[in-house]
Amino acid sequence: MISTSTANPMQATQLFHSFFMNPRYSMIMKRILFITAVMVIAGSAVARAAELRTKGPDREMQKTADICGAETAANKYAKPPERELRKRLSPIQYKVTQENGTEQAFHNEYWNNKKEGIYVDVVSGEPLFSSRDKYDSGTGWPSFLKPLTHENVVEKTDRSFFVTRTEVRSRSSNSHLGHVFDDGPPPTGRRYCMNSAALRFIPKEDLEKEGYGEYLKLFTR
Protein backbone atom coordinates (compact mmCIF):
# COMPACT_ATOMS: atom_id res chain seq x y z
CA MET A 1 0.00 0.00 0.00
CA ILE A 2 1.40 3.46 -0.92
CA SER A 3 1.41 6.10 1.81
CA THR A 4 0.29 9.47 0.46
CA SER A 5 1.95 11.20 3.41
CA THR A 6 5.48 9.97 2.62
CA ALA A 7 5.59 9.32 -1.14
CA ASN A 8 6.62 12.09 -3.49
CA PRO A 9 5.33 12.51 -7.07
CA MET A 10 8.47 11.05 -8.68
CA GLN A 11 8.43 7.94 -6.52
CA ALA A 12 4.72 7.41 -7.13
CA THR A 13 5.16 7.78 -10.89
CA GLN A 14 8.03 5.30 -10.99
CA LEU A 15 6.13 2.77 -8.89
CA PHE A 16 3.05 3.15 -11.05
CA HIS A 17 5.07 2.63 -14.23
CA SER A 18 6.78 -0.54 -12.98
CA PHE A 19 3.48 -2.13 -11.95
CA PHE A 20 1.55 -0.99 -14.99
CA MET A 21 4.05 -2.47 -17.45
CA ASN A 22 4.15 -5.85 -15.66
CA PRO A 23 1.74 -8.32 -17.40
CA ARG A 24 1.42 -10.46 -14.26
CA TYR A 25 -0.85 -7.93 -12.56
CA SER A 26 -4.55 -7.87 -13.29
CA MET A 27 -6.34 -4.97 -14.88
CA ILE A 28 -8.05 -4.21 -11.57
CA MET A 29 -4.73 -3.90 -9.74
CA LYS A 30 -3.42 -1.66 -12.48
CA ARG A 31 -6.43 0.59 -12.15
CA ILE A 32 -6.00 0.77 -8.37
CA LEU A 33 -2.35 1.67 -8.76
CA PHE A 34 -3.15 4.24 -11.42
CA ILE A 35 -5.77 5.97 -9.22
CA THR A 36 -3.42 5.89 -6.20
CA ALA A 37 -0.57 7.42 -8.15
CA VAL A 38 -2.81 10.18 -9.48
CA MET A 39 -4.03 10.93 -5.95
CA VAL A 40 -0.46 11.18 -4.63
CA ILE A 41 0.64 13.51 -7.41
CA ALA A 42 -2.48 15.67 -7.13
CA GLY A 43 -2.24 15.81 -3.32
CA SER A 44 1.36 16.94 -3.46
CA ALA A 45 0.53 19.63 -6.02
CA VAL A 46 -2.36 20.93 -3.90
CA ALA A 47 -0.20 21.02 -0.76
CA ARG A 48 2.55 22.93 -2.60
CA ALA A 49 0.06 25.44 -3.97
CA ALA A 50 -1.39 25.99 -0.50
CA GLU A 51 2.11 26.55 0.91
CA LEU A 52 2.88 29.16 -1.73
CA ARG A 53 -0.43 30.90 -1.13
CA THR A 54 0.34 31.04 2.60
CA LYS A 55 3.93 32.26 2.34
CA GLY A 56 3.40 34.72 -0.49
CA PRO A 57 1.10 37.18 1.33
CA ASP A 58 3.24 36.96 4.49
CA ARG A 59 6.34 38.03 2.60
CA GLU A 60 4.51 40.83 0.86
CA MET A 61 3.00 42.01 4.15
CA GLN A 62 6.42 41.98 5.83
CA LYS A 63 7.96 43.87 2.91
CA THR A 64 5.20 46.47 3.08
CA ALA A 65 5.60 46.79 6.86
CA ASP A 66 9.38 47.34 6.52
CA ILE A 67 8.87 50.04 3.90
CA CYS A 68 6.19 51.78 5.95
CA GLY A 69 8.35 51.65 9.06
CA ALA A 70 11.30 53.22 7.27
CA GLU A 71 9.09 55.91 5.76
CA THR A 72 7.54 56.69 9.16
CA ALA A 73 10.96 57.11 10.79
CA ALA A 74 12.17 59.28 7.91
CA ASN A 75 9.09 61.50 8.06
CA LYS A 76 9.26 61.81 11.84
CA TYR A 77 12.80 63.18 11.74
CA ALA A 78 12.71 64.86 8.35
CA LYS A 79 15.06 67.75 7.67
CA PRO A 80 13.23 71.11 7.58
CA PRO A 81 13.43 73.35 4.50
CA GLU A 82 16.49 75.58 4.11
CA ARG A 83 14.55 78.77 4.88
CA GLU A 84 13.31 77.32 8.18
CA LEU A 85 16.80 76.14 9.10
CA ARG A 86 18.18 79.64 8.58
CA LYS A 87 15.57 81.03 10.96
CA ARG A 88 15.71 78.33 13.60
CA LEU A 89 19.43 77.63 13.94
CA SER A 90 21.96 79.97 15.51
CA PRO A 91 24.97 80.93 13.36
CA ILE A 92 27.23 78.37 15.04
CA GLN A 93 24.58 75.64 14.79
CA TYR A 94 24.15 76.28 11.09
CA LYS A 95 27.91 76.45 10.48
CA VAL A 96 28.52 73.13 12.26
CA THR A 97 25.58 71.08 10.95
CA GLN A 98 25.28 72.47 7.41
CA GLU A 99 28.82 73.59 6.62
CA ASN A 100 30.84 70.94 8.48
CA GLY A 101 32.20 73.47 10.92
CA THR A 102 33.82 72.91 14.34
CA GLU A 103 33.01 74.87 17.48
CA GLN A 104 35.63 76.03 19.97
CA ALA A 105 36.75 73.53 22.57
CA PHE A 106 35.76 74.21 26.21
CA HIS A 107 33.53 77.06 25.02
CA ASN A 108 30.44 75.14 24.03
CA GLU A 109 27.21 74.20 25.74
CA TYR A 110 27.57 70.54 26.64
CA TRP A 111 31.26 69.71 27.01
CA ASN A 112 30.89 69.64 30.80
CA ASN A 113 27.21 68.77 31.07
CA LYS A 114 26.70 66.08 33.71
CA LYS A 115 22.90 65.92 33.76
CA GLU A 116 21.04 62.74 32.87
CA GLY A 117 19.15 62.67 29.59
CA ILE A 118 19.61 62.16 25.88
CA TYR A 119 21.12 64.22 23.08
CA VAL A 120 19.19 64.59 19.82
CA ASP A 121 19.97 66.12 16.44
CA VAL A 122 19.42 69.88 16.74
CA VAL A 123 18.07 69.88 13.17
CA SER A 124 15.64 66.96 13.14
CA GLY A 125 15.27 65.78 16.74
CA GLU A 126 16.60 62.34 15.88
CA PRO A 127 17.89 60.55 19.06
CA LEU A 128 21.68 60.28 18.95
CA PHE A 129 23.43 59.86 22.31
CA SER A 130 22.75 59.14 25.98
CA SER A 131 24.29 60.77 29.05
CA ARG A 132 24.96 57.24 30.33
CA ASP A 133 27.57 56.87 27.58
CA LYS A 134 29.09 60.34 28.02
CA TYR A 135 32.51 60.74 29.62
CA ASP A 136 35.16 63.40 30.17
CA SER A 137 37.71 62.95 27.38
CA GLY A 138 39.64 66.07 28.31
CA THR A 139 39.22 67.45 24.79
CA GLY A 140 36.70 70.19 25.57
CA TRP A 141 33.94 68.64 23.44
CA PRO A 142 31.14 66.29 24.55
CA SER A 143 32.40 62.74 24.07
CA PHE A 144 30.51 59.44 24.06
CA LEU A 145 31.40 55.75 24.09
CA LYS A 146 28.73 54.89 21.53
CA PRO A 147 25.59 56.23 19.87
CA LEU A 148 22.23 55.80 21.55
CA THR A 149 20.99 54.10 18.38
CA HIS A 150 23.60 53.02 15.83
CA GLU A 151 21.04 53.16 13.02
CA ASN A 152 20.64 56.92 13.53
CA VAL A 153 24.24 57.83 12.72
CA VAL A 154 26.36 57.46 9.60
CA GLU A 155 30.15 57.21 9.58
CA LYS A 156 32.04 58.52 6.55
CA THR A 157 35.69 58.87 5.61
CA ASP A 158 36.83 62.49 5.90
CA ARG A 159 40.08 63.51 4.18
CA SER A 160 39.86 67.24 4.78
CA PHE A 161 42.80 69.20 6.22
CA PHE A 162 45.28 66.64 4.80
CA VAL A 163 44.39 63.97 7.37
CA THR A 164 42.08 60.95 7.23
CA ARG A 165 39.38 60.87 9.90
CA THR A 166 35.97 59.28 10.35
CA GLU A 167 33.16 61.82 10.22
CA VAL A 168 29.87 61.22 12.03
CA ARG A 169 26.60 62.51 10.53
CA SER A 170 22.97 62.06 11.50
CA ARG A 171 21.09 59.73 9.19
CA SER A 172 17.77 61.54 8.66
CA SER A 173 18.91 65.15 8.29
CA ASN A 174 22.52 64.48 7.22
CA SER A 175 23.79 66.95 9.82
CA HIS A 176 27.50 67.07 10.51
CA LEU A 177 27.94 66.05 14.16
CA GLY A 178 31.67 65.56 14.67
CA HIS A 179 34.16 62.70 14.38
CA VAL A 180 34.80 59.31 15.96
CA PHE A 181 38.24 58.09 17.07
CA ASP A 182 39.59 54.75 18.25
CA ASP A 183 41.23 56.12 21.40
CA GLY A 184 38.30 55.86 23.80
CA PRO A 185 38.07 53.88 27.06
CA PRO A 186 36.63 50.37 27.44
CA PRO A 187 34.34 48.71 26.68
CA THR A 188 34.01 50.20 23.18
CA GLY A 189 37.44 51.81 22.79
CA ARG A 190 35.81 54.57 20.76
CA ARG A 191 35.45 58.31 21.28
CA TYR A 192 32.54 59.97 19.56
CA CYS A 193 33.72 63.57 19.73
CA MET A 194 30.67 65.70 18.97
CA ASN A 195 29.94 69.40 18.57
CA SER A 196 27.51 70.77 21.15
CA ALA A 197 26.08 73.01 18.44
CA ALA A 198 24.87 69.91 16.56
CA LEU A 199 22.99 68.60 19.58
CA ARG A 200 19.99 69.41 21.74
CA PHE A 201 19.95 68.01 25.26
CA ILE A 202 16.70 66.68 26.72
CA PRO A 203 16.78 66.05 30.51
CA LYS A 204 15.36 62.74 31.65
CA GLU A 205 12.47 64.48 33.44
CA ASP A 206 11.36 66.01 30.12
CA LEU A 207 11.64 62.89 27.96
CA GLU A 208 7.96 61.97 28.18
CA LYS A 209 6.82 65.53 27.52
CA GLU A 210 9.17 65.91 24.55
CA GLY A 211 8.02 62.66 22.93
CA TYR A 212 10.99 60.48 23.90
CA GLY A 213 9.32 58.49 26.68
CA GLU A 214 10.67 55.21 25.33
CA TYR A 215 14.14 56.22 26.58
CA LEU A 216 13.07 56.71 30.21
CA LYS A 217 13.95 53.08 30.89
CA LEU A 218 17.63 54.00 30.45
CA PHE A 219 17.50 55.98 33.68
CA THR A 220 15.28 53.78 35.86
CA ARG A 221 17.62 50.84 36.36
Distances (CA, A) of 84 to 88, 99, 103: 6, 16, 22
Helix (H) or strand (E) holding 83: helix 82-88
Q: With H, G, I as helix, E, B as strand and everything else as coil, classify residue 7.
A: coil
| Annotation marks residue 193 as catalytic | yes
Got the DSSP string for 153-189?
Answer: EEEEEE-GGGS-EEEEEETTT--EEEEEES-PPTTT-
Cα gap 119→128, rounded to integer Å = 6
Q: With H, G, I as helix, E, B as strand and everything else as coil, classify residue 199.
A: strand
Q: Which of 122, 177, 193, 199 is catalytic?
A: 193
For residue 143, the tally of other CB atoms under 10 A from its CB is: 24
Got the DSSP string for 11-59?
Answer: HHHHHHHHHHT-TTS-HHHHHHHHHHHHHHHHHHHHHHHHHHHHHHHHH
User: Cβ(135)–Cβ(145) under 8 Å?
Assistant: yes
Q: Are strands 153-158 and 199-203 parallel, antiparallel or unpaired?
A: unpaired
As annotated, the active-site residues are 193
